[in-house]
Amino acid sequence: MSVKSKRLRFEILKRDGFRCRYCGATSVGGAVLHVDHVRPESDGGDDSPGNLVTACAVCNGGKSNIGLDDSLLSNATAEDMKQNAEDIRAYLASCLEQRRAQEEVRQVAYDHYFEVVGPHVGDKISLQLDAALMGLVQNDGLMVVLKARDITAWKASQSRMNCTDAAKYFYGVMKRMRVEEAA
């Protein structure tokens, strides 16, 4: 089940620094964040702030409705536990590699976007833009974002566009490409 109050969800995300309490992933890094019950509702857990933590979709899905004190390995042999530990290490290495790849894609999109639009000043704008670009890359794919960037670069070279106009044009190109793809 999910936390019913949107305000409570936001307060938990804010309390946890918009970071997964299990692995440290952030939404800026591309993670989808949820609010997770430490003690599952199916086991009597409630929506009190002490029973809620921020969890990325990967960790929350992996945990399922198992409490942190519960173990699926209680009857496991030493060999089973050793194999499980190896599997966990391999899984964590895979997650780390996936995050590195996402960071590389984000950086490519970010760099190409700023070649056309120019840099923005201020951390807040950069974080918002960073999240927006990662959303575009995740929804539409890196190649579509780069194609929109190239179209915007060509248009900017044909006319005198300021940063704001170039950004608006870029998002207009993205919107047009989605409409064309849907048709």
Which H or E element spans position 158? helix 142-158
Q: What is the rounded CA–CA span in Å between residue 63 and residue 61?
A: 5
Last residue of a domain, one of 42, 63, 84: 63
For residues 109 and 177, membership in a common domain is answered with yes
Structural domain of 113: 103-182
Residue-wise over 97-130: b if at least 16 C-beta within 10 A, else e? eebeebeebbeebbebbbebbeeeeeeeeeeebb
For residues 58 and 121, membership in a common domain is answered with no
Interacting residues of 73 by C-beta distance below 8 A, sequence separation 6+: 80, 81, 84
Is 79 a domain residue?
A: no
For residues 112 and 160, membership in a common domain is answered with yes
For residues 110 and 174, membership in a common domain is answered with yes
Is 18 a domain residue?
A: yes
Share of the chain above pLDDT 70, in %: 78
Last residue of a domain, one of 63, 80, 112: 63
- Asked if pLDDT for residue 148 goes beyond 80, the answer is yes
Selection from 11-20, 59-68, 133-142, 159-168 with the highest mean pLDDT: 11-20
Of the pLDDT bands very low, low, confident and very high (cuts 50, 70, 90), residue 115 is low
For residues 58 and 120, membership in a common domain is answered with no
For residues 59 and 108, membership in a common domain is answered with no
The per-residue pLDDT for 123 is 46
For residues 40 and 109, membership in a common domain is answered with no
Specify whether the CB–CB gap between 99 and 106 falls below 8 A: no
Domain count across the chain: 2
Three-state SS at 19: strand
Is 22 a domain residue?
A: yes
Three-state SS at 29: coil
Identity of the amino acid at 43: D
Is 82 a domain residue?
A: no
Is 89 a domain residue?
A: no
- Asked if pLDDT for residue 118 goes beyond 80, the answer is no
Is 41 a domain residue?
A: yes
Residue range 84-107, pLDDT digits in tens: 778 788 888 887 888 788 777 777
Is 42 a domain residue?
A: yes
Is 26 a domain residue?
A: yes
